[in-house]
Amino acid sequence: MSGLILCRDKSVTHPYYVKELGLHLYTGEELCYFIYHNIPLINEDFLDESLFEFLNQLGEEKLTARAQRLKEQAGLFDVLYLLLQELHYFTAAELFSFRRQLEELSSASYCWRMKAKGDYLFECGQFYHAIRVYEHVLEQNDKELSDQEFVAKIWHNKGCCNARLEIFDEAMYCMDKAYQLSRRTELLEKMFVLSELGGGAIPKAAEDVITAAMLKQFRTNLEDHKKLALFTGKALEAASVRDLDAEKQEEAYRTLLARWKDDYRRNQG
Amino acid sequence: MGLILGIDLCDSFSQISVYSPEKKAPEPLLLGGAESNGLISTTLCKVRGQDSWLIGTEAYQRALMGEGTMVDKLVKLLMRDTSATIEGVQYSAVQLMAAFITQLIRLPKIIYKEEEIDGIAFGLRQLDPDLLDRLTEACDLCGLDRKKVRFLSHTECFAYYVASQPKDLWPNTAAAFDLTEAGLDYFEMQVIRGRRPQILQAAREPLDEAFDLDLLETPMGERMADTILSACADRKLQKKLVSSVFLTGEGFISVDFAKEFLKKVCNKRKVFSGQHLFADGAALIAYDGTLPESAFPYLCICEGRLASTISLYALQDGKNEQLILASAGSNWYESKASAEFILDDVHTLELMVTPFATQRVETISLSLDELPARPNKTTRIQLIVSFSSESRVTVRVIDKGFGEIFPASGIVIRKDFLIS
């Protein structure tokens, strides 16, 4: 293989906006990459007018017409496959693997797919979006929701999103719901941590289960996590700026802060 | 239809030819008086106290009469990018050249009663990249549309001129001697047959025997010049199948002084003497440039034209295709290619250089290691290939990122290569 893919010349004046990730797509290649790597995020709403308008802007009028026809006759996954196939960004092997992903997804229930979307948004740091998706799943009247373990996972994940947003009391509520459904002991530790962070008292039913030995272990783990936190994530990024020369430091702090602000704004959904 | 002009722009004299669509041939612009031979002195004079400029003999005369300030050697001035101060105002070389060109193209506009210019080609002794940049600026100042302006080497003008002549004049090699204040140049052109399209190969050789034209002002000097030229003719034309020889340049306005030289060059050859060879060639090229597609049936390889094709392989709509970035035979000054690619597991960019007459392929490589590390297929690069001469190519790779998913770093990798 040559190693180079010639880009299409067309540039768009109105990029396609992916609201879940808060980013704009400007080219056919970016659209292909987004579809391939973010398939859990994509549902029927994706095939809206703005997508077809975007494809038209790329000079893909024929492809747009075919995609619109296929949307009526077949469904979401066939249209996605058509787009990837016709925009020639991926190789035949990559398309084959994508086809298999689609097949797996098409055999899954609606609630399972939405949970996968919520999980994916969580991984992308889109906590508000993820919460909305989890709430949407919990409102469904699907047989999947009779599986208590499945529902417990959704409450747990929603709790994690709230914790990441530092809404600790709401996080505690979610974890308690998850615990009531699954009775998993690791949830007790999470509730302990939330209470330490200001999420209020651990609900009585859960508190009664925590033994003195468990409490001691939870405390030790929390201290270890606090120590580790000094050398990971944002603390690590800030530390790397501290090592710079004084003259470069101010600019670097400014850049870092601007990026954190951008991330935060994007995560607000 | 607007004017189609060919201008031979030299340091001492300039000439204009106007392409006549009716005659399908260029015709020299002949002025009256001292400029009846079509040679217009490349001299500029600003009339004292007025915002008006004169060129040619009139510029000399007014300056001699003390009515203005004269500037000459305008091409050299432009090459060195110096300036001249006239009446306390500093004028850049570009401004002075612009003033000269404006006055120069005014002449055919008046004579042909036509303001519009459809195409204009400048023939130059040398194609220096800085000179061409400044000339482009000067043409911009004159209000000339860049798309309609071309810069060509004398060699190319010579090739086009000869190719426009009846074929029986050049069944073999055609040669030319250009004797000017700037030097003595020898040109040769031949057709390489057996290929489609056929190739016109032309070259210029500045001869060391060049002499000052003041030498021709005395009988003894004329004899000496004749001897020098004869020696050149012996050296360049002996043992060669040269069908025709063209003599041009202000040194050959009269060829009476060069009896021995003429004897040698006229031996079983057709010899022509005239002053408009380069301007006519330029006008022919200017006309060709106005056509939707070139009507010139040859691939011209000469000074100013690329001798190699530069290409690379890339996936286009899923198929591995050879993409031509610059074609052999194209004008290097006008050859600038830009294309965008996605890198698919590649760390070195490889361009193929294929000389026009061979099957041999050379490769020039550019390391892409400086680009930021990103997941595969998420780096978009802009590749720009440009030239600063026939043999010097500059390859630039600009990191364009991958939209908002992976923002561009702005890193530029640049490397110059010498090609055949």
SS3 assignment for A146-200? HCHHHHHHHHHHHHHHHHHCCCHHHHHHHHHHHHHHHCCCHHHHHHHHHHHCCCC
Helix axes A76-87 and A92-106, enclosed angle (nearest 10): 170
Using a CB–CB cutoff of 8 Å, tell me whether A173 touches chain B. no
Helix axes A148-164 and A110-123, enclosed angle (nearest 10): 20
Per-residue model confidence (pLDDT) at position A269:
56
At CA B128, angle to CA B127 and CA B131, rounded to 5? Answer: 105
| Range B308-418: architecture per CATH | Sandwich (2.60)
Which candidate in B316, B345, B363, B371 is best for mutational testing of the A interface (most A CBs within 10 A)?
B316
The chain B residue lying nearest A89, using CA atoms, is B318
Longest dimension (CA), chain B: 80
A26 CB neighbours in chain B (<8 A) are 403-404
Is it the case that residue B3 has pLDDT exceeding 80? yes
**A256's tokens:** 């870092």
With a CB cutoff of 8 Å and minimum separation 6, the contacts of B371 are B343, B379, B381, B397, B399, B409, B411, B413
CATH class of A110-229: mainly alpha
pLDDT in tens, A145-182: 778 899 999 999 999 999 998 899 999 999 999 999 99
Rounded to an integer, what distance in angstroms lies between the CA atom of residue A209 and that of residue A155? 20
CATH class of B156-278: alpha beta
Find residues 19-48 of chain A whose CB sits inside 8 Å of chain B: 23-27, 29-30, 33-34
Per-residue model confidence (pLDDT) at position A194:
94
B402 CB neighbours in chain A (<8 A) are 29-30, 33
Rounded to an integer, what distance in angstroms lies between the CA atom of residue A78 and that of residue A66? 11
Is it the case that residue B249 has pLDDT exceeding 90? yes
Using a CB–CB cutoff of 8 Å, tell me whether A89 touches chain B. yes
B377 CB neighbours in chain A (<8 A) are 5, 29, 33, 89
Contact A7 B340 (CB under 8 A): yes
> How far lies A265's CA from each of A19, A192, A268, B403, in Å?
12, 29, 5, 19
Helices (H) and strands (E) in chain B, counts: 8, 25
pLDDT bin (cut points 50, 70, 90) of residue B79 is very high
Higher pLDDT, B104 or A263: B104
Nearest to B342 among A26, A29, A34 (CB): A29
B340 CB neighbours in chain A (<8 A) are 6-7, 9
Interface predicted TM-score (ipTM) over 0.90: no
**A71's tokens:** 């949307």
First to last CA, chain B: 41
Surface-to-core class of residue B134, CB atoms within 10 Å of its CB (0-12 exposed, 13-18 middle, 19+ buried): buried
Per-residue model confidence (pLDDT) at position A2:
53
Nearest chain A Cα distance for residue B362, angstroms: 17
With a CB cutoff of 8 Å and minimum separation 6, the contacts of B62 are B45, B47, B54, B68
Per-residue model confidence (pLDDT) at position A76:
87
Is it the case that residue A75 has pLDDT exceeding 90? no
B270 membership: H or E segment, kind and range: strand B270-273
A27 CB neighbours in chain B (<8 A) are 380, 403
* Cα–Cα nearest to B200, from B176, B173, B239: B173
Per-residue model confidence (pLDDT) at position B155:
95
Query: Average per-residue pLDDT in chain B?
Result: 92
**Is-contact B16 B7, C-beta < 8 A?**
yes
B348 membership: H or E segment, kind and range: strand B348-355
- Hey, how many other C-beta atoms are within 10 angstroms of the C-beta on B369? 8
B91: DSSP letter = E
pLDDT in tens, A24-74: 999 999 999 999 998 888 888 888 899 999 999 999 999 999 999 998 888
* Residue B252 falls in which region: left (phi positive, over 0), alpha (psi -120 to 50) or beta: alpha
Helix axes A28-37 and A76-87, enclosed angle (nearest 10): 130
**Average pLDDT of span B298-318:** 91
Q: Which amino acid is residue B157, in one-letter code? A: C
Rounded to an integer, what distance in angstroms lies between the CA atom of residue A259 and that of residue B1? 59
Nearest to A24 among B312, B346, B404 (CB): B404
Which candidate in B315, B348, B406 is best for mutational testing of the A interface (most A CBs within 10 A)?
B315
Nearest to A33 among B314, B345, B405 (CB): B405
Contact B402 A29 (CB under 8 A): yes
Nearest chain B Cα distance for residue A26, angstroms: 6
> How far lies A48's CA from each of A25, A59, A173, B387, in Å?
15, 18, 37, 46
**Average pLDDT of span B176-196:** 90
DSSP percent split of chain B into helix, strand, coil, nearest 5: 30, 40, 35
Which candidate in A2, A37, A91 is best for mutational testing of the B interface (most B CBs within 10 A)?
A2
B192: DSSP letter = E
Rounded to an integer, what distance in angstroms lies between the CA atom of residue B108 and that of residue B131? 25
Contact B345 A3 (CB under 8 A): yes
Domain coordinates in residue numbering, chain A: 16-106, 110-229, 237-267
Min mean pLDDT across B12-21, B191-200, B343-352 is at: B191-200
Is it the case that residue B73 has pLDDT exceeding 60? yes
B406: DSSP letter = B
The chain A residue lying nearest B341, using CA atoms, is A6
pLDDT in tens, B349-365: 999 999 887 778 999 99
Per-residue model confidence (pLDDT) at position A11:
72
State whether the Cα torsion B251-B253-B259-B263 is positive or negative. Answer: positive
**Average pLDDT of span B133-158:** 95
Give chain B's radius of gyration (CA, Å): 24
Structure-derived torsion over alpha carbons of residues B84, B88, B89, B92, reported in degrees to the nearest 10: 10
**Is-contact B420 B307, C-beta < 8 A?**
yes
Q: Which amino acid is residue A74, in one-letter code? A: A
**Average pLDDT of span A181-202:** 91
The chain B residue lying nearest A90, using CA atoms, is B318
**Average pLDDT of span B39-52:** 91
**Average pLDDT of span A235-253:** 85
For B404, the 3-state DSSP assignment is strand
A216-225: burial string, b at 16+ Cβ within 10 Å, e else? eebeeeeeee
Per-residue model confidence (pLDDT) at position B247:
95
Contact A89 B342 (CB under 8 A): yes
* Cα–Cα nearest to B121, from B129, B132, B107, B109: B132
Residue with tokens 């194609």: B127
Is it the case that residue B33 has pLDDT exceeding 80? no
CATH number of B3-151: 3.30.420.40
**Average pLDDT of span B197-219:** 90
**Average pLDDT of span A197-221:** 90
Nearest to B317 among A1, A33, A88 (CB): A88
B319 membership: H or E segment, kind and range: strand B319-326
- Cis preceding-peptide flag for B197 (omega within 30 of 0): yes
Give chain A's radius of gyration (CA, Å): 23
Per-residue model confidence (pLDDT) at position A79:
93
Q: Residues spanned by CATH 2.60.34.10 within chain B?
A: 308-418
Nearest chain B Cα distance for residue A222, angstroms: 35
Using a CB–CB cutoff of 8 Å, tell me whether A241 touches chain B. no
**A225's tokens:** 């996590």
Higher pLDDT, A11 or B410: B410
> How far lies B39's CA from each of B57, B83, B212, B333, B362, in Å?
10, 25, 18, 27, 45
Per-residue model confidence (pLDDT) at position A188:
93
**B360's tokens:** 């041999």
Per-residue model confidence (pLDDT) at position B420:
72
